[in-house]
Every structure is written in structure tokens, then in C-alpha cells.
């Protein structure tokens, strides 16, 4: 056995002394603990005993006020209004059935659901209120308040409710709040949230929730047996949320929504030089205030099962064939690739036959010999069938993607769709069949599989007129409080620059000015006095009618098979201040339906701010 | 070569003290988790029985070898526990907002508990090997303490980090009470504080601020202390009786079975009960100090001093915390609160104490 004798006597003695010292220290420390226990349990004990039996210390939330939402001119769009909520503290109820019966004598309540909620809360969380009815009317409030003393455990809380001042205005953009679900609760961004909290579900309310919401505060309060607060022991004030200022022009938004009234469609206006969205309207819309009030099952089902999908923001998630708008892409591709001379004339006799099929021009009698300029101005299909064939499908797809179509624009709102630009490889991958040459002809006039969103088109037309800068559309100007520099400040975000020769862009621009301003231009209905508008019409077929058949009048076919009307525009053409994309679902030709809407919107815009 | 005298010298009193504390702990856990909110956690006391059983078996195992062989194994054991600790940081599971567990399927271990014991052994070895005490001999213990300390702060488990520091400083000061040494230690601590502050994450800083200024957090730790004081105080002289604690039943206390288990006990058994529990611990610590006094070599003395210091600081900090004398750090009451790693490693450490105690007469051979 190892024996160690390195314990020198002198050190041993020191150790003995130190051990005695340690023992003393331990005794002193324990003395303090005993004294503390004596003070808590014997001296102050009765007081604590009373607190433990009669009162209790509770934690109450202090909710922050949610930030407001303004438009670009500082007009208030969304604020908070007080609303009264009836709740009960389960622990304080003596007889739940009697209480619910008493309450239902005063106001209309859902007794069965309430009963279930209370029972569950009694098991899990008896000290926090269970809410039975939201949004009491003044009348109901008065009836409950006068009887409050006879119903221990019943409380009335005042909570702010989100309120959109103009109801439906910019509803898709602003979005709405809803009770947080378990899925969201697990996410990092909601780690401060609790079950029962309201969080942004879509739109700006969701995107900027973390700034809008503010930071929850709380109080440590002493409450008596019937739930009344005796005193506030400590408190941490809530930190109010920040305000969001949108780039939206409220007046323009109103005009846009008015022109969509009774129709399904989308209108988006953008500052073509900065990417700021000036208006974003989608129809049909919904009223976010209905959500704030707490929608019942019937109301929710009404919204969800509406065949026209009012919850969909068509500007970013509506995907449509671009129709003749796509001719701009094909023209640019043809010029860049050098397969067409701008002066070369192709013949249009009203139809074009390829591989024993007939491809019609929208103008039955044909356009005769047309060069590029007139082909765009008058939107000649036959010219573009031939040009498309020359360019080839894969080159068309390459240009379309390079010009920013068929991909998300990166707008900060969620649920943006990408659209679709078909190519040979795509078709083989997706459908496992090779590309048909005839399909190239359809693609060249914006039909077939091609899909774009209105936000892509407004960015596209902006880039054409701003020198080729592919901007990220943005809807937020700044976030902060009291006009102070806040957490977010808008700055233009150029994602990409077109690599298209200047002279080719100028050729196409001149043609788009012609679309609106020349004699046979398809977009003449968008003409404005004093301001030069440039644009392009488009008519997107929903179902491809058999080519052999004669074209039919739109009013003679069922609604859901009618064509979509497109119009994209910028104004003034020389130095544009506003770019527009308009899509009206199932309404007919773009020139006839969408172009006049563009004129109204541009007219209203420039009547307020002359360039 | 098992010596009969070992059995004659077996420290029955130490064992009995531990058994009594164990029984009280299990009864108290039964009460603490037997609340209206009966969840899966109601089996906590059964698990604690298992941990105690395993712990006592390890305790007996530890008494069978001569603790002097640890002289050779001190560093390997320390480094293994450090590796486990580092692993818990890298791939450990997160619980209570901190990453301090290493999961092995059915159970998880808290390597920081092992480090507490292995650090005591390694420090005991270092100081017992020294002939003279020169200041530069403090450099190595500083490094030995700093490595686990930094890792544990990073988890972040501030309670354990604090205990680790207090225990190591207790050993250092015991060996070398010297104003220069104290100054060096304190100034190192103060000077390295800003450095720590820089490497800490934002949320870790928040937690430290909450620790230093609990009044800034009236809804978290501050609330728990208010409730804990009411719970303890309402016990009065004789307590409300076993399973009759009202505060505990109503789930006012967080972590009733870990950090606040003393409050549950004090409510049900009153001043008399909690004083007896404190006296048990006092006896345990004084008994250890007595073993340290009688140990015939420096190594044994220092091991026992370190282990006694660990129990002392755990108890003092925990009871001060639940009675509102200290901010809430998050330290369990060793042997009394629920915790597998803590119970097993503490009982293993008590095995070492017993080992030293049993071999105190060996030199008479």
C-alpha cells in the first residue's frame, strides 16, 4: 500500500488551524441561514400564511400597443380601437354551470364551448382568464357590468383591436391578424408570444410583425380571492410597436380599387425608377376588420369557399398567360439575336399555317406586310408566329428569364408565385414528352404554358423604360416612430441589369409609344392629353379554342372561359414617373377593357401631381 | 488484498446521514410533483430512487480501492470529463434554455457535475505535490479552473459556473492563504471580466444582467422569489404537513423538484423541519471537515475539503436563493433536489470521502 509521508508537521499544524477557521465560517453561514428561516417562518410567517391562503401573487400581461400603418403621404390607414372582452378566471368560479346560465340570461354566449374551455383551463391553467365573448357591444357591456358584483370570477378586459380605417382598402397588402397557432408558436420570431396572442397572418401585418407588435410588459399583482387586484407589486411597462409607413399612395390605391369594383383582377402601380409600389389592388377583396372582430366559422367558410378567392393577392400570386405582352420579349430576343432586321416586312394574311395547323391572327382580315414597329403597335400575331419560329423556344425562354419573367420579384410580402417560362427541357422534365414545334408559335404570342404575375409585368415594363434596371419592388418606406429614423429605411434595390443593346430597347420603346399614340395602335384608349403614355395591350386566352373554328364573341361563352384583359403602361414615356400593370380576369380584350382603366388611373394620378 | 480493518473503519455515521437525506429528498419529491397538474413528471420520485440506488452502489465501489491511485488518474479523469463537457456544448440537448446535457438515449448526463468532482481531485493532486508554495505555482490551477468555467458559462449554466469557482477558490485559499494570492486571483477575475463580456452572446449577456439585477426581471426570477418566500414563510413553526402544502399544490413555484425543492419542504415541515434538514447538512459538512482533519496526507485532506466545500456552497447558495438573500442563480440543493447526474456524482464524491475516512489509520500498519 502506498504510504505518503509528505505531510510536514509545520504544514499539518497550519492545516489544523485553518480547519478550525473553516468550521467557524461554516457555522457562521449556517447561523445566517437559520436566522433567515426564523425571520421568514416565525417572525413574518403569519403574514405569509395569510397571503398564501387568501391572496395570491399573479402575473398579468401588459400588452403593447401595436404600431400604426400609414401611406406615403402620412395618411393613417390602420390603427387600434378599444374592444371589450368578457372573460372568467376559472379558479375563482364557484359554480360554472350556474355562472354560464346567469351570463346567458344577460348576453348571447356559446355555453357549450365556454364550458369546455373552462374545464380544460381548470385542469391546466386555472389562474389565467378564459375568454368567452369578444367585442361586446355597449349594450352588452352595460348589462354585464351592472351584474358584475354577483358573478365572482367574471372579468371584463379592454383590449385594443386592429382597425382598418378604410375597410377593404389595400386589404391584401396590409393583411390581418389572427390568433397565433401552435405551428407559429414554435418559431424563433414568435418566442415572446403566448397562446392566445394575435399575430400578423398575412401581408404587412405578418412581414413586419416583429416591429409592429412591440414588446410585452407585465405586472406582478396581488389579487384577492375573487380575482380583484389589490396592489401592483412590480411592473415592467410594455414597449409600443413601431409604425410602418408604406410607399402606397392612398388616393391612387382608392382609384385603382374603384376601377376593379365588381370585377376580378389586379392592378399594380410602381415608381419605375425606385421600385416603390404606389398601389396594389386585388379584387375581390375582404375586410380585415372582420378578422379582427374574430370571424365565426360561417364567416370564415364564406370567405374561403368563395369561388373567386378573395384572400388571394392576385398581384403577386395570380398567375396568368401574358398574351401579347410577351411579344415585347420575343421582339427583344429577335433583335438581340439578329434573326430579324427591324425594317424587314413579314406578311400577315390573317392566319399562318404550320405543320398542317392554322394559327390565326386576332385581326381576321390580316395586317398585310408589317415590319417590327407596326407588328407591335397593331399587335400582329402572324408576324410574331414567324419571328418566334426564327428565334426558337429555348432562346425565347432564355431571354424571358433574363428579363425577369417566370421568377419571384422578391417583394417583401409572402406567398409570391413564380409563374412559368416553358422550354424544351422543362417540358421533358414536367410532362415527359418532347416539345412540339407548334407550341413555339403559341408561346411567341404569350399563350401555351407561359404564366406571369402582374408584379412581374410592372417590373418588366419599368425596366424597359428606366434603362434596364431590374428593381426589387418594395412596399415599405420606413419603419420607426414619431418620424424618427427607425429600423428600416427604403432604398432602391437593383437586382440585375438587362444586357440588351440600347438601340434595340429604343426601337421597342418607340413601338410601345405607338401602341397608345398611333393611328391603329391597340392601346389608343389609354391616350391622355398632355402626357405621353406608352403601353402594350394583351389578351390572354384561358382555354385554347380549336384553331379551325371561327372566333366567337366573348359574351357568348361562359364567364370562366372568357379571356383575361392585360394592359401595361408607363407615363410620361420620356421620363416615366409611374408604371402600371392591369389585369382584369375574364373580361375580353386588353385594349378594350384594360386600357381605359389605365387612362383613368393615370389621369387621376397626374391631375394631382403634374410632372 | 482486502483489509478487514477497512470494514471495521467503515464510516457508518456518514452513510446513515446520506441515507436520511436521501429518504427526505424522495419523500419531498413525491410531494412536490404530486400536484393538481399531474403530468408525466409525477414519476420523478421513482427516478430519484433509482439515482440514489445507483449512487450508493458507486459509493461502495469507490470505497474498495485506495484513493491514492487517483494520484495517477487525476489528470486523465479530469480531461475525460472536460471532453464530455465540451461535447455537451457541441451536440448536447437544450433544456431550460441552456445546453448542458449529453444524451444517451434513455438518460442524459450533465458532464458539468462530473467536472465538479474531477476538478477537486486534480486540484488536490496539484497542491499536494507541491513542496513549497510559490506564486507561479498558481498559474496551473488558474488554467485548470478557467477551462471548465468558460465552457460552463457558455452553456450557459451560471449557477454551476459559480459553484465551480467557489469550490476551487476554497481549495486554493485553504492551501495558500496569502494576501498576494488572493489579490492575484481577484484581479485576474476582474481583469478578465470585460474579455468574457466580449465573447458572450447577447442572450447570455441578458441572462447575466438578469442575474445581477433581478429587480429588472419582476416577471421572471423576481416573481419566483416572491412566491418562494410566501411558500417558505407560510410554513410557520410546524409546517402545513406532508402533502398539504397549498402553494406547492397550485404550481406557483417553478422547478419545484429542482431548484425550489427546499421551499416545498419548508412549507410542509415548517421551521422545525427545515432547521432539521439544515442541521443534517451542517453535520455532514462538519463530519467531512473532521475526516479532513484526521486524514494522514495532504492529498486526502484536500479532496475532502473540496467535496465539503462543494456541498457547503451548493447548500448556502441554494437556500439563500430560495429565501431571497441572493439572486436566483439556478443551483439545485445538492442531494435533495431532483437530478440524476448531481445525485450520482455527489454520492461518488462521498465515496471518496469515505475512502479517505476508512484509510485514516493505515499508516499504523
CA distance B236 to A213: 45
Residue A169 belongs to a domain with what CATH number?
A: 3.90.1310.10
Pairing between strand A177-179 and A69-70?
unpaired
CA distance A295 to A310: 15
CB B246 within 8 A of CB B253: no
Q: Specify if A20 maps to a domain.
A: no
Q: Specify if A581 maps to a domain.
A: yes
Say if residue A402's pLDDT is above 50. Answer: yes
Q: Residue B219 and residue A218: Cβ atoms within 8 Å?
A: yes
Mark whether A394 and A421 lie in a shared domain. yes
What residue ranges of chain B have pLDDT lower than 50?
A: 1, 36-41, 364-365
Ranking A358-362, A484-488, B95-99, B237-241 by mean pLDDT, the lowest is B95-99
Say if residue A372's pLDDT is above 60. Answer: yes
Per DSSP, helices labelled H in A454-528 are 454-465, 502-517
Give the orientation angle of helix B340-358 with respect to helix B12-32, to 10 degrees.
Answer: 170
Q: Specify if A33 maps to a domain.
A: no
Say if residue A550's pLDDT is above 70. Answer: no
Nearest by Cα to B77 from B125, B41, B39? B125
Instruction: Kindly report the length of chain B.
Output: 365
Reduced to 3 states (helix: H, G, I; strand: E, B; else coil), residue A135 is coil
Q: Specify if A121 maps to a domain.
A: yes
* Whether A33 contacts chain B with CB within 8 A: yes
Mark whether A126 and A222 lie in a shared domain. yes
**How many CB atoms are closer than 10 A to CB A342?**
16
Per DSSP, helices labelled H in chain B are 4-8, 12-32, 44-64, 70-91, 111-129, 139-154, 158-175, 179-199, 202-212, 221-233, 246-249, 261-294, 298-322, 340-358
CA distance A170 to A176: 11
Reduced to 3 states (helix: H, G, I; strand: E, B; else coil), residue A389 is helix
Mark whether A498 and A551 lie in a shared domain. yes
Mark whether A329 and A188 lie in a shared domain. no
* Whether B230 contacts chain A with CB within 8 A: yes
Mark whether A354 and A216 lie in a shared domain. no
Q: Which of residues 218-247 of A touch B (CB under 8 A)?
A: 218, 220, 233-236
pLDDT band at A388 (very low <50, low <70, confident <90, very high): very high
Reduced to 3 states (helix: H, G, I; strand: E, B; else coil), residue A60 is strand
Residue A433 belongs to a domain with what CATH number?
A: 3.40.710.10
Q: Residue B266 and residue A37: Cβ atoms within 8 Å?
A: yes
* Whether B202 contacts chain A with CB within 8 A: no
Mark whether A220 and A325 lie in a shared domain. no
Q: What is the pLDDT of residue B271?
A: 94
Q: Does this complex have an ipTM over 0.95? A: no
Mark whether A233 and A263 lie in a shared domain. no
Q: How far is A23 from chain B (nearest CA, A)?
A: 7
Domain count, chain B: 1
Mark whether A340 and A232 lie in a shared domain. no
Q: Specify if A234 maps to a domain.
A: yes
pLDDT band at A469 (very low <50, low <70, confident <90, very high): very high
Taking CB atoms and an 8 Å cutoff, what residues of chain A touch B297? 4-7
Q: What is the pLDDT of residue B364?
A: 44
Mark whether A222 and A261 lie in a shared domain. no
Mean pLDDT of chain A: 86
Asked if the peptide bond before residue A66 counts as cis, ω within 30 degrees of 0, the response is no
Average pLDDT over residues A468-474: 93
Find the domain containing A257 and state its range.
250-286+314-608
Residue at which a domain ends, from A214, A246, A278:
A246
Taking CB atoms and an 8 Å cutoff, what residues of chain A touch B365? 1, 3
Q: Specify if A125 maps to a domain.
A: yes
Nearest by Cα to A185 from A194, A177, A176? A194
CA distance B359 to B296: 9
Taking CB atoms and an 8 Å cutoff, what residues of chain B touch A22? 174, 289, 305
Residues in Cβ contact with B224 at an 8 Å cutoff, skipping those fewer than 6 apart: B253, B254, B260, B328
Residue B230 grid coordinates: 410566501
Q: How far is B224 from chain A (nearest CA, A)?
A: 10
Mark whether A259 and A229 lie in a shared domain. no
Q: How far is A3 from chain B (nearest CA, A)?
A: 7
CB B119 within 8 A of CB B148: yes
Mark whether A268 and A194 lie in a shared domain. no
Interface test with A, best of B5, B213, B218, B244 (most A CBs within 10 A): B218
Closest A-chain CA to B71 = A2
pLDDT tens digit string along A133-162? 878 888 888 888 888 877 877 888 888 888
CA distance A448 to A434: 15
Q: What is the pLDDT of residue A112?
A: 82
CA distance A417 to A315: 10
Q: Specify if A19 maps to a domain.
A: no
Residues forming beta bridges with residue A568, ordered by sequence position = A536, A581
Run of H or E residues at A103: helix A96-106
Mark whether A408 and A555 lie in a shared domain. yes
Q: Residue B233 and residue A47: Cβ atoms within 8 Å?
A: yes
Please give the positions of A annotated as active site: 324
Say if residue A433's pLDDT is above 80. Answer: yes
Average pLDDT over residues A184-203: 78
Ranking A167-171, A266-270, B225-229 by mean pLDDT, the lowest is B225-229
Q: How far, rounded to the nearest angstrom, does the alpha carbon of residue B303 sit from its chain's CA centroid?
A: 15
Say which of B230, B237, B325 has its CB closest to residue A48. Answer: B230
Domain count, chain A: 2
Q: How far is B192 from chain A (nearest CA, A)?
A: 28
Q: How far is A83 from chain B (nearest CA, A)?
A: 26
DSSP conformation letters of B276-314: HHHHHHHHHHHHHHHHHHH-SSHHHHHHHHHHHHHHHHH
* Whether B58 contacts chain A with CB within 8 A: no
Reduced to 3 states (helix: H, G, I; strand: E, B; else coil), residue A71 is coil
pLDDT band at A69 (very low <50, low <70, confident <90, very high): very high
CA distance A461 to A392: 23
What is the count of residue pairs from A and B with beta carbons less than 8 Å apart?
139
Amino acid at each position: 500500500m502506498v504510504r505518503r509521508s509528505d505531510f510536514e508537521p509545520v504544514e499539518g499544524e497550519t492545516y489544523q488551524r485553518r480547519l478550525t477557521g473553516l468550521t467557524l465560517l461554516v457555522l457562521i453561514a449556517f447561523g445566517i441561514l437559520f436566522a433567515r428561516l426564523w425571520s421568514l417562518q416565525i417572525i413574518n410567517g403569519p403574514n405569509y400564511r395569510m397571503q398564501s391562503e387568501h391572496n395570491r401573487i399573479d402575473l398579468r400581461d401588459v400588452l403593447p400597443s401595436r404600431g400604426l400603418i400609414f401611406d406615403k403621404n402620412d395618411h393613417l390607414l390602420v390603427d387600434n380601437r378599444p374592444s371589450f372582452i368578457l372573460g372568467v378566471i376559472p379558479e375563482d368560479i364557484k359554480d360554472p354551470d350556474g355562472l354560464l346560465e346567469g351570463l346567458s340570461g344577460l348576453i348571447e354566449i356559446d355555453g357549450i364551448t365556454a364550458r369546455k374551455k373552462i374545464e380544460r383551463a381548470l385542469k391546466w391553467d386555472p389562474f389565467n382568464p378564459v375568454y368567452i365573448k369578444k367585442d361586446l357591444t355597449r349594450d352588452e357591456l352595460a348589462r354585464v357590468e351592472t351584474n358584475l358584483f354577483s358573478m365572482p370570477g367574471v372579468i371584463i378586459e379592454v383590449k385594443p383591436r386592429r382597425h382598418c380605417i378604410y375597410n377593404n382598402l389595400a386589404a391584401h397588402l396590409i393583411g390581418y391578424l389572427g390568433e397565433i397557432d401552435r405551428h407559429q408558436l414554435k418559431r424563433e420570431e414568435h418566442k415572446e408570444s403566448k397562446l392566445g396572442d394575435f399575430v400578423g397572418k398575412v401581408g404587412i401585418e405578418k412581414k413586419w410583425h416583429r416591429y409592429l407588435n412591440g414588446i410585452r410588459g407585465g405586472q406582478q399583482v396581488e389579487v384577492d380571492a375573487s380575482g380583484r387586484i389589490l396592489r401592483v407589486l412590480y411592473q415592467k411597462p410594455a414597449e409600443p410597436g413601431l409604425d410602418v409607413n408604406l410607399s402606397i399612395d392612398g388616393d391612387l390605391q382608392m382609384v385603382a380599387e374603384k376601377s376593379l369594383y365588381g370585377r376580378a383582377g389586379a392592378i399594380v402601380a410602381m415608381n419605375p425608377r425606385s421600385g416603390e409600389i404606389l398601389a396594389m389592388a386585388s379584387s375581390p377583396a375582404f375586410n380585415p376588420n372582420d378578422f379582427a372582430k374574430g370571424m365565426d366559422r360561417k364567416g370564415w367558410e364564406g370567405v374561403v369557399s368563395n369561388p373567386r378567392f378573395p384572400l388571394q393577392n392576385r398581384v403577386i400570386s395570380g398567375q396568368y398567360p401574358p398574351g401579347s405582352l410577351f411579344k415585347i420579349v420575343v421582339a427583344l430576343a429577335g433583335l438581340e439575336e439578329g434573326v430579324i432586321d427591324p425594317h424587314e416586312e413579314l406578311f400577315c394574311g390573317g392566319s399562318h399555317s404550320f405543320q398542317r395547323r392554322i394559327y390565326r391572327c386576332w385581326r381576321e382580315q390580316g395586317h398585310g406586310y408589317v415590319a417590327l414597329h407596326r407588328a407591335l403597335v397593331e399587335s400582329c400575331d402572324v408576324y410574331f408566329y414567324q419571328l418566334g419560329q426564327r428565334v426558337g423556344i429555348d432562346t425565347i425562354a432564355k431571354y424571358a428569364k433574363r428579363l425577369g419573367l417566370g421568377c419571384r420579384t422578391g417583394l417583401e410580402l409572402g406567398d409570391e408565385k413564380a409563374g412559368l417560362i416553358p422550354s424544351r427541357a422543362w417540358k421533358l422534365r414536367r410532362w415527359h414528352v418532347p416539345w412540339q414545334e407548334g407550341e413555339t408559335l403559341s408561346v411567341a404570342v404569350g399563350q401555351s404554358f407561359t404564366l406571369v404575375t402582374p408584379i412581374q409585368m410592372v417590373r418588366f415594363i419599368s425596366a424597359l423604360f428606366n434603362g434596364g434596371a431590374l428593381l426589387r419592388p418594395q412596399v415599405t418606406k420606413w419603419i420607426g416612430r414619431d418620424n424618427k429614423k427607425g429600423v428600416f429605411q427604403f432604398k432602391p434595390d437593383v437586382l440585375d441589369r438587362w444586357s440588351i443593346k440600347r438601340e434595340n430597347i429604343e426601337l421597342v420603346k418607340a413601338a410601345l409609344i405607338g401602341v397608345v399614340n398611333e393611328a391603329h395602335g391597340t392601346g389608343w384608349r389609354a391616350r391622355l392629353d398632355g402626357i405621353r403614355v406608352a403601353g402594350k395591350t394583351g389578351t390572354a386566352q384561358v382555354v385554347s379554342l380549336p384553331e379551325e373554328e371561327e372566333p366567337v364573341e366573348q359574351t357568348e361563352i361562359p364567364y370562366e372561359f372568357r379571356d383575361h384583359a392585360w394592359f401595361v403602361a408607363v407615363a410620361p414615356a420620356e421620363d416615366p414617373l409611374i408604371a402600371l400593370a392591369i389585369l382584369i380576369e375574364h373580361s375580353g380584350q386588353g385594349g378594350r377593357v384594360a386600357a381605359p382603366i389605365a387612362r383613368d388611373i393615370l389621369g387621376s394620378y397626374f391631375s394631382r401631381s403634374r410632372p | 488484498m482486502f483489509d478487514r480493518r477497512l470494514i471495521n473503519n467503515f464510516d457508518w455515521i456518514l452513510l446513515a446521514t446520506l441515507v436520511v437525506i436521501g429518504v427526505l429528498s424522495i419523500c419531498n419529491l413525491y410531494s412536490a410533483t404530486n400536484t393538481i397538474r399531474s403530468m408525466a413528471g409525477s414519476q420523478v420520485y421513482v427516478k430519484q430512487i433509482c439515482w440514489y440506488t445507483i449512487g450508493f452502489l458507486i459509493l461502495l465501489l469507490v470505497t474498495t480501492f485506495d484513493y491514492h491511485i487517483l494520484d495517477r488518474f487525476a489528470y486523465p479523469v479530469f480531461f475525460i470529463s472536460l471532453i464530455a463537457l465540451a461535447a455537451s456544448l457541441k451536440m448536447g440537448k437544450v433544456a431550460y434554455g441552456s445546453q448542458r446535457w449529453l444524451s444517451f438515449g434513455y438518460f442524459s448526463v450533465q458532464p458539468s457535475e462530473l467536472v465538479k468532482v474531477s476538478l477537486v481531485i486534480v486540484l488536490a493532486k496539484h497542491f499536494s505535490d507541491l513542496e513549497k508554495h510559490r506564486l507561479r505555482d498558481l498559474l496551473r490551477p488558474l488554467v485548470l479552473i478557467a477551462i471548465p468555467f468558460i465552457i460552463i458559462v457558455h452553456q450557459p449554466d451560471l449557477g454551476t459556473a459559480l459553484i465551480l469557482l467557489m469550490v476551487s477558490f476554497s481549495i486554493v485559499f485553504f492551501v495558500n492563504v496569502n494576501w498576494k494570492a488572493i489579490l492575484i486571483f481577484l484581479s485576474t477575475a476582474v481583469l478578465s471580466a470585460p474579455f468574457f463580456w466580449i465573447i458572450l452572446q447577447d442572450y447570455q449577456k441578458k441572462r447575466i444582467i438578469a442575474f445581477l439585477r433581478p429587480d429588472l426581471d419582476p416577471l421572471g426570477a423576481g416573481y419566483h422569489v416572491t412566491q418562494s418566500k410566501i411558500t417558505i414563510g407560510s410554513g410557520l413553526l410546524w409546517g402545513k404537513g406532508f402533502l398539504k402544502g397549498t402553494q406547492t399544490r397550485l404550481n406557483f413555484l417553478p422547478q419545484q423538484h429542482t431548484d425550489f425543492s427546499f421551499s416545498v419542504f419548508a412549507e410542509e415541515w415548517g421551521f422545525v423541519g427545515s432547521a432539521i434538514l439544515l442541521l443534517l447538512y451542517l453535520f455532514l459538512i462538519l463530519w467531512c471537515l473532521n475526516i479532513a482533519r484526521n486524514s494522514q496526507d495532504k492529498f486526502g485532506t484536500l479532496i475532502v475539503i473540496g467535496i465539503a466545500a462543494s456541498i457547503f456552497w451548493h447548500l448556502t447558495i441554494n437556500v439563500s436563493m430560495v429565501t431571497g438573500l441572493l439572486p436566483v442563480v439556478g443551483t439545485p440543493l445538492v442531494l435533495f433536489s431532483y437530478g440524476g447526474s448531481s445525485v450520482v456524482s455527489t454520492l461518488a464524491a462521498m465515496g471518496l470521502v469515505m475512502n479517505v475516512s476508512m484509510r485514516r489509520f493505515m499508516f499504523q500498519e
